């Protein structure tokens, strides 16, 4: 909207040959200000440079009142280039000593500008009425005439006349630029969009670019490009920054328990940015587009930069897991959402927008968040354990759910993990993976603490034990749904058997297996209180666990059996394998595929005809395709076969393993994992066998 007319009609240019009339008292009242120095208003007063600046400021009151710090720079720039222009003289004119002090002295005592007679509205009034194109055309005409007169050496004897008129042009150009900034600042204000003013702004910027396409070769200041398009873009950027600053003014996101305040601040910020950009889409862009001005891209980049700066400030002050997550979630899921602006009618800029937060800032936010998250999840697991301990201390019997003993342990843990993993996945896949790892480590520590606390609580009753087993099974399948992997070593399923004396001379004379089988039989009695599918799977897990631990100790013996002891050890191992198989089959285990593992190793240990060892190895590799080269080396190390035979058997075993891998045969595909979970150290005997 045009500014109301000020009391001063503004400055108008005059030519030096025109008579300069002294100001009348009425004119003096128009130029003077209540802030002028005492005695400044008198008959015949001629204003200096400071008075000229004040006069133009009053003539375009709204532009000067709202001008930013960048606008003041225009005046300084004009003066600097003006004095430089005065020092240069055309080649065909005699040189005149024009120092800055001389110009200032002559400006302060020379004739002041008057309104041009017969030219109608002054340039300052045109600017204040926002007839920007008309004002520019007038200034362009005066600029051209001034340059022509300078070239003809008109001002050789009157340099202050040129300085006075050149400063008029400069000040009016700067006033016009300041009005451009004022229009931009008002555009997103509460008074609505002045489409005519925006179209006029676009036209005057384009006209200036056409009038001053590039700097003149002679360095003439008056014909230097004013770069109003860049000034307009800077004004748009400042306007966006001012608007963004209005959201959540007075909030303190770093205060304790300020996550709701931060969320409210970001909600206000999002609403403000969305409202302003939608206004740009609907009203501002069409007004500029009529004059061929790319307003949408400029406003989008300006608001993006302003939001990025504001968010970085908030990130610096954010504290605690909740605040950090609120920031990450807003940046990833609110602002970056394709629905942030609603219907998107405008095309995005040809160049992609930079990240809202720099990669290093984003990475630091995620690191800080996961650090707080580790502490929070550990605290949650502490709370779950305390609830279980209070239930044990109160001697509360576990609930029955569909005839099975039940404890809320698994539900609490699964909900805890699922909540945080899902929340992290909404931010990024990397944060989801990191959070899942945090939960897995915390769960592992929790299960060990839970086992110890349970065994020390005195609450190890059949119902509680069954409820705990059910909870572990529910955890196993529940965490698979959350992206976790089931644990094959739930500490509540069975205590690890101690087979440390396997393949030693002491083992040959002792029956260490029977006590273990008695515990297995006793344990199986608890399975009657579990659902048949779960009971069968648990029994098979125990079966596989016993065979696996037996082999893990057998392949890393503490002693080396030779001669008769080796053959006796082979027979004993075969008998124990039969006892293990009979016991679990009697209990109903359907894991018959485990039956050949220990007998094959026993046959290799006791085989007297060494060439038949190859046949036993083939049977073992075909039955258990998850076996690795390390396991073959450890089995061969049980025998002293010599270098040539070891190398022969090893090459044959590797060929079979490669063929199985090429054919895609894997024990894990059918759930038959045995050797893959047996980790072996590299002992001296294994190294000798390899060599």
CA distances from 488 to 118, 178, 477, 673 (A): 100, 74, 12, 10
Tell whether 396 is covered by a domain.
yes
Give yes or no: residues 155 and 275 share one domain: yes
User: What would the mean pLDDT of 576-603 be, rounded to a whole number?
Assistant: 92
Q: Is residue 493 part of a domain?
A: no
Tokens of 149: 């007169």
Residue 368: name the closest of 331, 312, 323 by CA. Answer: 323
- What 3-state DSSP class applies to 480? helix
Task: At 495, list the tokens.
Answer: 């205590």
Nearest to 170 by CA among 93, 83, 282: 83
pLDDT reported for residue 102: 38
Q: How far apart are the first and last CA of the chain?
A: 93
pLDDT band per the 50, 70, 90 thresholds, residue 397: confident
- Model pTM? 0.55
CATH code at position 553: 1.10.357.70
According to DSSP, the residues that pair with 581 across neighbouring strands are none
CB atoms within 10 A of CB 636: 23
Of 482, 513, 539, the residue that ends a domain is: 482
Ramachandran class of 257: left when φ > 0, alpha when ψ lies in -120 to 50, beta otherwise: left
Mean pLDDT of 34-40: 34
Same domain for 640 and 559: yes
187, part of any domain: yes
Q: Looking at the structure, do residues 442 and 371 belong to the same domain, yes or no?
A: yes
Asked whether residue 653 is assigned to any structural domain, the reply reads: yes
Domain shared by 568 and 641, yes or no: yes
**pLDDT tier at 598, thresholds 50, 70, 90:** very high
**Domain termination site, one of 446, 467, 482:** 482
- The boundaries of the domain holding residue 619 are 505-689
CB count in 10 Å sphere of residue 463: 16
CA distance 408 to 544: 28
The residues pairing with 399 across neighbouring beta strands, listed in sequence order, are: 406
Q: How many domains does the chain have?
A: 3
Name the least confident of 182-186, 306-310, 321-325, 337-341: 337-341
Angle (CA) 385-390-391 rounded to 5° is 100
- pLDDT at position 25 is 31
* Highest mean pLDDT out of 41-45, 356-360, 456-460: 356-360
What pLDDT does 37 receive? 33
Q: Is 325 a domain residue?
A: no
Residue 451 shares a structural domain with residue 395: yes
**Do 457 and 531 lie in a common domain?**
no
Of these ranges, 20-29, 38-47, 367-376, the one predicted with the greatest mean pLDDT is: 367-376
Helix (H) or strand (E) holding 672: none
Residues 530 and 597 in one domain: yes
Residues sharing a CB contact under 8 Å with residue 587, sequence separation 6 or more, in sequence order: 520, 521, 524, 539
Is 585 inside a domain boundary?
A: yes
Radius of gyration (Cα) for the chain, nearest Å? 45
Note the pLDDT tens digit of each residue in 561-585.
788 888 888 898 899 999 999 999 9
525, 413: one domain: no
On whether both 511 and 649 belong to a single domain, the answer is yes
Distance of alpha carbon 359 from alpha carbon 424, whole angstroms: 17
**pLDDT at residue 605 tops 50:** yes
3-class DSSP assignment, residue 406: strand
**What's the mean pLDDT in 341-370?**
78
- 379 & 431 share domain: yes
Are the CB atoms for 628 and 682 separated by under 8 Å? Answer: no
Q: Is residue 548 within 8 Å of 680, Cβ to Cβ?
A: no
Please indicate, yes or no, whether residues 273 and 403 belong to a single structural domain of this protein.
no
Which residue, 413, 447, 482, sits at the end of a domain?
A: 482
**pLDDT band at residue 594 using 50, 70 and 90 as cut-offs:** very high
Which residues contact residue 581 at a Cβ distance below 8 angstroms, ignoring those fewer than 6 apart?
A: 594, 595
Domain identity same for 279 and 388: no
Tell me the C-alpha distance between 71 and 56, whole Å. Answer: 14
In a domain, 44, yes or no: no
Share of residues in the chain with pLDDT > 90 (%) = 16
Q: H/E element holding 346? A: none
pLDDT at 636: 86
**Reported confidence tier of residue 499, pLDDT bands at 50, 70, 90:** low
Residue 258 domain-assigned (yes or no): no
Which helix (DSSP H) or strand (DSSP E) does residue 121 occupy?
A: none
- Angle CA 257–441–320, to nearest 5: 15
Q: pLDDT per residue over 115-158, tens digit each?
A: 433 356 788 888 888 888 888 888 888 888 888 887 777 777 77
DSSP 237-283: HHHHHHHHHTTTTT--TTSTT-HHHHHHHHHHHHHHHHHHHHHIIII
């Amino acid at each position: 909207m045009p500014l109301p007319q000020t009391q001063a009609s503004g400055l108008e240019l005059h030519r030096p040959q025109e008579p300069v009339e002294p100001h009348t008292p009425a004119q003096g009242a128009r130029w003077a200000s209540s802030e002028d120095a005492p005695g400044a208003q008198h008959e015949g007063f001629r204003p200096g440079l400071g008075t000229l600046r004040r006069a133009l400021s009053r003539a375009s009151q709204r532009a000067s009142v709202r001008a930013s710090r960048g606008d003041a720079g225009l005046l300084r720039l004009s003066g600097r280039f003006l004095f430089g222009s005065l020092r240069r003289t055309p080649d065909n004119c005699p040189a005149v000593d024009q120092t800055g002090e001389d110009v200032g002295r002559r400006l302060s005592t020379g004739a002041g500008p008057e309104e041009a007679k017969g030219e109608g509205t002054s340039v300052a009034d045109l600017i204040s009425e926002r007839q920007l194109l008309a004002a520019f055309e007038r200034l362009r005409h005066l600029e051209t005439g001034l340059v022509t007169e300078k070239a003809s050496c008109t001002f050789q004897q009157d340099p202050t006349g040129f300085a006075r008129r050149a400063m008029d042009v400069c000040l009016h150009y700067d006033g016009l630029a300041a009005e451009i900034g004022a229009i931009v600042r008002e555009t997103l204000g509460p008074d609505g969009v002045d489409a005519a003013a925006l179209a006029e702004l676009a036209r005057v910027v384009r006209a200036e670019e056409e009038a001053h396409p590039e700097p003149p070769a002679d360095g003439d200041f008056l014909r230097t490009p004013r770069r109003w398009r860049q000034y307009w873009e800077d004004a748009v950027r400042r306007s966006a920054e001012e608007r963004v600053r209005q959201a959540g003014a007075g909030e303190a996101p770093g205060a304790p328990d300020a996550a709701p305040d931060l969320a409210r601040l970001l909600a206000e910020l999002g609403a403000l940015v969305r409202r302003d950009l939608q206004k740009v889409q609907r009203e501002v862009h069409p007004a500029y587009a009529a004059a061929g001005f790319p307003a949408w891209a400029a406003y989008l980049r300006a608001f993006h930069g302003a939001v990025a700066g504001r968010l970085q400030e908030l990130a610096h002050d954010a504290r605690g897991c909740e605040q950090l997550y609120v920031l990450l979630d807003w940046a990833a899921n609110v602002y970056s959402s394709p629905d942030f602006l609603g219907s998107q009618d405008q095309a995005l800029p040809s160049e992609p927008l930079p990240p809202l937060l720099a990669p290093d800032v984003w990475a630091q936010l995620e690191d800080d968040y996961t650090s707080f998250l580790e502490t929070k999840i550990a605290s949650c697991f502490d709370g779950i354990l305390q609830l279980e301990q209070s239930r044990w201390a109160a001697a509360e019997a576990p609930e029955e759910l569909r005839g099975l003993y039940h404890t809320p342990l698994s539900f609490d843990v699964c909900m805890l993990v699922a909540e945080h993993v899902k929340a992290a996945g909404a931010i990024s896949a990397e944060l989801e993976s990191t959070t899942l790892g945090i939960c897995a480590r915390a769960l592992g520590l929790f299960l060990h603490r839970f086992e110890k606390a349970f065994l020390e609580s005195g609450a190890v009753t059949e119902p509680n034990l069954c409820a705990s087993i059910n909870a572990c099974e529910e955890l196993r399948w529940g965490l698979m749904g959350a992206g976790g992997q089931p644990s094959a070593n739930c500490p509540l399923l069975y205590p690890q058997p101690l087979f440390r004396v396997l393949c030693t001379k002491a083992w040959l004379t002792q029956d260490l297996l029977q006590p273990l089988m008695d515990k297995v039989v006793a344990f199986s009695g608890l399975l009657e209180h579990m659902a048949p599918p779960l009971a069968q799977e648990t029994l098979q897990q125990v079966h596989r666990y016993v065979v696996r631990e037996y082999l893990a100790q057998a392949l890393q013996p503490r002693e080396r059996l030779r001669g008769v002891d080796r053959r006796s050890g082979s027979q004993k191992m075969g008998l124990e394998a039969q006892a293990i198989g009979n016991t679990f089959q009697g209990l109903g285990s359907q894991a018959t595929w485990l039956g050949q593992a220990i007998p094959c190793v026993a046959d290799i240990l006791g085989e007297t005809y060494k060439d038949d060892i190859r046949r036993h190895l083939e049977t073992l590799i075909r039955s258990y395709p998850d076996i690795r080269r390390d396991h073959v080396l450890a089995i061969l190390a049980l025998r002293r076969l010599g270098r040539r035979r070891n190398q022969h058997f090893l090459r044959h075993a590797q060929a079979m393993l490669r063929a199985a891998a090429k054919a895609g045969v894997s024990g894990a595909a059918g759930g038959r994992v045995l050797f893959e979970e047996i980790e072996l150290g590299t002992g001296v005997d294994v190294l000798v066998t390899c060599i």
